[in-house]
Amino acid sequence: MRHFLTLTDLSADEFRALLTRAIELKAMRRNGESYQPLKNKVLAMIFEKSSTRTRVSFEAGMAHFGGHALFLSPRDTQLGRGEPIEDSARVLSSMSDCIMVRTFEHEKIETFAVHSSVPVINGLTDDVHPCQLLADMQTWQEYRGDIKGRTVTWIGDGNNMCHSYMHAAKMLGFKLNIACPEGYTPKKKFMQEARDYIELFSDPVGACKNSDLIVTDVWASMGQEDEQDQRSSVFAPYQVDLELMKSAHTDALFMHCLPAHRGEEVSADVIDGAQSVVWDEAENRLHAQKALLEFLLVR
């Protein structure tokens, strides 16, 4: 049994194979082909934070595959009333075939996985967002082929998305320039692991030079709503606008995991402009996670 708590739970070859499979599954769906390898299977989904894309992509993916997805929130389950994680994991895994968890502390999903008898998928924690990277890398591959040897630039907060980009850089062999304000750099542990693949910048323009892909994310992640005002002033020089995009290669792509705030981390003319591939990136959550579900559950 395999869990998917971070990208590094996969080998680099498995990561690449999932991207290829995601592209195949997308084509099958476009051709109207029915493929139902998960008939009678149940995916339980625990959301301790909000979600649009993650919830809908997993739910739709399970429906396409002939299975079923259950949405569980702490508001109306015993999870919100203090039932221990260990107990919840034991019980939920006795009734379902796979469990997706979106939560705060990464340690929580690790504890959950230890006590689960079925595969656990990370649907985002404070530390990482590995499912999003499957979709981002699929999108890159569709537009530009192999990412090995390319340069990607992360602009903004050294957050969960940035950490997963650092994992992907090391696994797929691309260079990652990271431009963050002081005090908002990625966690040391992740920087240490990816040290041969990353370069830290304080200047966004320098970080975008010779870059093939520019990526950003919200300035205040879920759980940091109280810091929104203070972060807005610190991060203001890090907005991805057309001027900043000009420092990258002319054919550079722009990605954002969404939800986005136009006028904050990205200008409207970039996210809605010709270099942006955010809608493919969002749709690919569906195809990439179907490839992941198949990998974890169909043997």
Residues that bind ligand NVA (CB under 6 A): 124, 129, 159-161, 217-218, 221-222, 257
Return the number of the residue (65 or 219) whose C-beta is nearest ligand NVA.
Answer: 219
Q: Does 54 bind ligand CP (CB under 6 A)?
A: yes
Going residue by residue from 121 to 160, which x/- string records binding to ligand CP, judged by CB under 6 A?
---x-------x----------------------------
Return the number of the residue (38 or 218) whose C-beta is nearest ligand CP.
Answer: 218
Q: Which does 296 bind (CB under 5 to 8 A by kind): ligand CP, ligand NVA, none?
A: none
> Is 195 assigned a catalytic role?
no
Q: Do 252 and 228 contact (CB within 8 A), yes or no?
A: no
Return the number of the residue (259 or 273) whose C-beta is nearest ligand NVA.
Answer: 259
Distance from C-alpha of 236 to C-alpha of 239, rounded to nearest angstrom: 6
Distance from C-alpha of 138 to C-alpha of 23, rounded to nearest angstrom: 7
CA atoms within 13 A on the CB side of 190: 25
Distance from C-alpha of 85 to C-alpha of 250, rounded to nearest angstrom: 49
Contacts of 101 (CB under 8 A, 6+ apart): 45, 46, 48, 108, 109, 112, 120, 121, 122, 123
β-bridge pairing 253-256 and 213-216: parallel
Q: Which does 52 bind (CB under 5 to 8 A by kind): ligand NVA, ligand CP, none?
A: ligand CP
Return the number of the residue (58 or 197) whose C-beta is nearest ligand CP.
Answer: 58
Q: Does 232 bind ligand CP (CB under 6 A)?
A: no
> Is 129 assigned a catalytic role?
yes
Q: Does 164 bind ligand CP (CB under 6 A)?
A: no
> Is 285 assigned a catalytic role?
yes
Q: Which residue has the tokens 């990370």?
A: 122
Dig out the tokens for 174 from the structure.
């691309």
Q: Which does 136 bind (CB under 5 to 8 A by kind): ligand NVA, ligand CP, none?
A: none
**DSSP per residue, 167-224:** HHHHHHT-EEEEE--TT-PPPHHHHHHTTTTEEEES-HHHHHTT-SEEEE--SS-TT-
> Is 102 assigned a catalytic role?
yes
> Is 217 assigned a catalytic role?
yes
Going residue by residue from 75 to 104, which x/- string records binding to ligand CP, judged by CB under 6 A?
------------------------------
Q: Does 276 bind ligand CP (CB under 6 A)?
A: no
Return the number of the residue (180 or 257) whose C-beta is nearest ligand CP.
Answer: 257
Between the alpha carbon of residue 284 and those of residues 37, 137, 181, the distances in Å are: 19, 9, 30
> For 253, phi and psi rounded to 5 degrees?
-95, 160
Residues belonging to the active site: 102, 129, 132, 217, 257, 285
Residues that bind ligand CP (CB under 6 A): 51-54, 124, 132, 257-258
